[in-house]
Amino acid sequence: MLNNNRFFYNLENYSKLPEEIKEELKVLRKMEYVINQSVIMAITDRKGCITYVNDLLCEVSQYKRGELIGQRHEILYSQSYKNRFIVAMLETVKRGQVWKGEILSRKKDGSHYWIHTTIVPFINDENDEYQYYSISKEITKEKEIEEDLKRSHENYRLIAENTINLVTLLETDGSFQYISPSFNSILDYDVPTLMNENFFNIVHPEDLKTVKEDVQTYCRKRKEPLLMEFQILHPEGEYIDVEASIRAISNTSYSNEDLILVVMRDIRGRKEIEQKIYHLAYHDPLTNFPNRRSFMIKLRDEILNRRKTKEKMAILFIDLDNFKSINDQWGHDMGDLVLKEAAIMIQSSICPSDVAARLGGDEFMVMLKSIRDDQDTINVVQSILKKFQSPLFVDGQEFIITCSIGIANYPEHGRSSEELMKNADDALYSVKGQGKNNFIIFNKSIENKTLERRLLENALRKAIKKQEFYLEYQPKLNISTNEIIGMEALVRWNHPDLGTIPPVKFISLAESTGLIIPLGEWILRESCRQTKEWQEKGYPQLRVSVNVSVRQFEDPYFIEKIKRILHEIGLDPHWLEIELTESVFADLKHTVPILEGIRNLGIHISVDDFGTGYSSLSYIKHLPIDTLKVDQSFIKDVHLNHQSKAIVSAVIHLAETIGLNVIAEGIETLEHVEALSKDGLKFGQGYFYSRPLRCEAFEEFVTNNASL
């Protein structure tokens, strides 16, 4: 009879069996043991009732053998199966055919497990099936892995098909190994066709050399992912700007060789915004002329070009006479219309290669690039004056306005942009003092007539020798926590007779005379000395910022002076920050080595009065600097003026992307703080927090701040 504990028959009179049958039975029992250890075994009769189960089936299903014998085989199936599945399976075996498939089974506790099953029907002499042998292997883990793979594949498919990035996998020679569907959805590329191309073939020819060299260098060094911007070809024939992150990948299933993962983002929209912000930052919105900052950059560039060619150039400083009366009588809207007409007259009087700019208010500046002598300049100036003699008709009203013009020639009247503009301004001042509606070419007599300037220069020389200067310190704070993070050292002149003289009165004079070199060295030494003293007194360690002029920066012994001062004072370079204006970047070849020398000492570098935005970032991001200080002219109306807000926001977010800190100067109201905080600014300084303080007052401010 059949023993339900064993698969094969136990025979009576075993000892009477022939030896060859006994040996076969031994083999069969061994096979039974192996089957019990490796597969799930069950036998059902023709009605589907279970007549045999092995130990492994009981172990996996959690049923005892007695709970299964006599039960319908459906007891082991998941309730999720529909009747048609079972019917299809039964129809197969009833036809005498072997059925194979995967079945989701149910344990006694209701949990599920997967098995791969083979059901073999046995046929009797009447050709009727009478038993079904079910041999199964549990595949739950395999199914879980399969489902995980399906989910991962689906996730990757969804990401690849819906990402806004252009993703491609390349061989080192540029051959495509993978191209994301976004190449089609975003750029309308035919992906199979593109697969036969080479990545470098779609890079703009002007960018190709740089891209290849940078990728090759990166593959050799294998540091952080390579970030770069370049242009790629659009199927319609135009080139579009992309921002790319490039990373080398090793040991992939694609190739035995290293591959390059390139993730690109279409930045056409950002470039358009950059151009708009650039225009806002560099142009006067009323006249569309270049603004002061733009004009200064153009002037510096022209001066650099003329250092070799020795060609002449003239600067015209133009001021509209009595323009204030138009604003007072007709209002600022009408005044703006008059200014626009004045700009048109100035532009029509000069060559297309010349540059006309509006400095602000009723002041204009013109750069005449192609002049041979004073007479060429005078011809242009007289043309401007003549045009202003004619009445202006604006919005049905007639206006009679004149202008005064001061002239400075390069190189006779100055070899720097600051000096040329100052001398043109002095010449303009002389014109206005002589009745206006005329012009004067700068000459030494104009400078000599400025008695205050001459006296001030002499006094300044004596003051440097007598050390009549002192420093005040303006705190820099984290505008979110109000924690002090540093201070800016600001020089003051305590004249024995005139009292305190503000920096605006003597700094430009010190720069033009070269006295800024000894004065700047004293400021640097005193700032470091005071900072070290505060550290020794136990005050919080704060970084002191010291302003450095272009003349100081051009001093060939500048770095050595810094090193000597730090060594003599004993101040760690980490606690010193050098603040430079953007004018030092006019000559990058000269500037970069000096910046690197300063940075190598451990000193921080800040760009002061920054606000030109994206154009400056085209070179700023390649310079060894740490911080951008947003020009206070953009801060004063950041809560009211959309253009100022757009520029400040752009500077903050773009500086963040290239790893630079940003600090705003000139914060004076709570509205400033709130507007800047919304844009993500972290650091600031200004009268809202504190005016510049003498040493004792600064110590008290620090102490009070620490107790908050």
The 3-state secondary structure of 108-136, one letter per residue? CCCCEEEEEEEEEEEECCCCCEEEEEEEE
* Local structure of residue 14 (DSSP, 8 states): G
pLDDT at residue number 343: 95
- pLDDT for 617 beyond 70: no
Helix, strand, coil distribution of the chain in percent, nearest 5 = 45, 25, 25
Mean of the pLDDT values across residues 432-461? 82
Strands (E), 361-458: 363-368, 392-394, 397-399, 403-410, 439-441
Classify domain 285-442 by CATH architecture.
Answer: 2-Layer Sandwich (3.30)
At 70, the amino acid letter reads G
Domain ranges of the chain: 19-137, 163-272, 285-442, 456-706
Mean of the pLDDT values across residues 688-699? 95
Check: CB of residue 69 under 8 Å from CB of residue 53.
yes
pLDDT band at 640 (very low <50, low <70, confident <90, very high): confident
More confident residue, 647 or 410: 410
Percent of the chain topping pLDDT 90? 45
* Local structure of residue 200 (DSSP, 8 states): G
* Local structure of residue 559 (DSSP, 8 states): H
Percent of the chain topping pLDDT 70? 92
pLDDT at residue number 564: 96
**Residue 575, burial from CB neighbour count under 10 angstroms (0-12, 13-18, 19+):** buried
More confident residue, 565 or 638: 565
pLDDT at residue number 586: 61
**Vertex 563 angle, CA 558 and 568, to 5°:** 125
- Among left, alpha and beta (phi > 0; psi -120 to 50; other), residue 307 is alpha
pLDDT at residue number 326: 85
Check: CB of residue 239 under 8 Å from CB of residue 222.
no
Q: Which of 702, 704, 677 is nearest to 474 (CA)?
A: 702
pLDDT at residue number 14: 65
Comparing 160-169, 363-372, 691-700, the range with the smallest average pLDDT is 160-169
Q: How far apart are CA 321 and CA 403, in angstroms?
A: 5
Sheet of 99-106, strand order:
50-53, 40-45, 129-138, 112-123, 99-106
Taking only the tens place, the pLDDT of each residue in 651-680 is: 888 888 888 899 999 999 999 999 999 988
Mean of the pLDDT values across residues 560-583? 93
**Vertex 288 angle, CA 287 and 291, to 5°:** 95
Homologous superfamily of 456-706: EAL domain (3.20.20.450)
The token pair that represents 541 in the structure block: 């360690």
- pLDDT for 613 beyond 50: no
The token pair that represents 485 in the structure block: 């993070």
Taking only the tens place, the pLDDT of each residue in 505-525 is: 888 788 878 899 999 999 999
Homologous superfamily of 19-137: PAS domain (3.30.450.20)
Q: Which of 149, 133, 136 is nearest to 104 (CA)?
A: 136
Cα-Cα-Cα-Cα dihedral sign, residues 150, 154, 156, 157: positive
At 55, the amino acid letter reads D
Crossing angle of the two packed helices 516-536 and 503-513, in degrees rounded to 10: 120
pLDDT band at 639 (very low <50, low <70, confident <90, very high): confident
pLDDT at residue number 369: 92
pLDDT band at 708 (very low <50, low <70, confident <90, very high): low
Rg (CA), the chain: 42
pLDDT at residue number 208: 93
- pLDDT for 83 beyond 70: no
- pLDDT for 498 beyond 50: yes
At 129, the amino acid letter reads E
Find where tokens 């569907």 sit: 181
pLDDT at residue number 2: 43
Q: How far apart are CA 294 and CA 279, in angstroms?
A: 10
**680: helix, coil or strand?**
coil
Mean of the pLDDT values across residues 629-658? 85
Q: What is the mean pLDDT of the chain?
A: 86
Strands (E), 201-252: 226-233, 239-249
- pLDDT for 1 beyond 60: no
Cα-Cα-Cα-Cα dihedral sign, residues 512, 514, 518, 524: positive
pLDDT at residue number 450: 64
Taking only the tens place, the pLDDT of each residue in 335-372 is: 999 999 999 999 999 999 999 999 988 999 999 998 88
Q: Which of 676, 671, 666 is nearest to 645 (CA)?
A: 676
Taking only the tens place, the pLDDT of each residue in 384-429 is: 999 998 888 888 888 888 999 999 999 999 889 999 999 999 899 8
At 604, the amino acid letter reads H
Q: Which long-range contacts (CB under 8 A, 24 or more apart) does 616-620 make?
A: 616/582, 616/585, 617/654, 617/655, 617/658, 619/585, 619/588, 620/585, 620/658, 620/660
Find where tokens 């990035």 sit: 165
Q: How far apart are CA 550 and CA 582, in angstroms?
A: 9
Taking only the tens place, the pLDDT of each residue in 255-308 is: 567 888 999 988 888 888 888 888 888 899 899 999 999 999 999 999 988 887
**In CATH, what number does 163-272 get?**
3.30.450.20
- Same fold for the domain at 163-272 and the one at 285-442? no
Q: Is the pTM of this model over 0.75?
A: no
Q: Which of 299, 297, 586, 289 is nearest to 423 (CA)?
A: 299
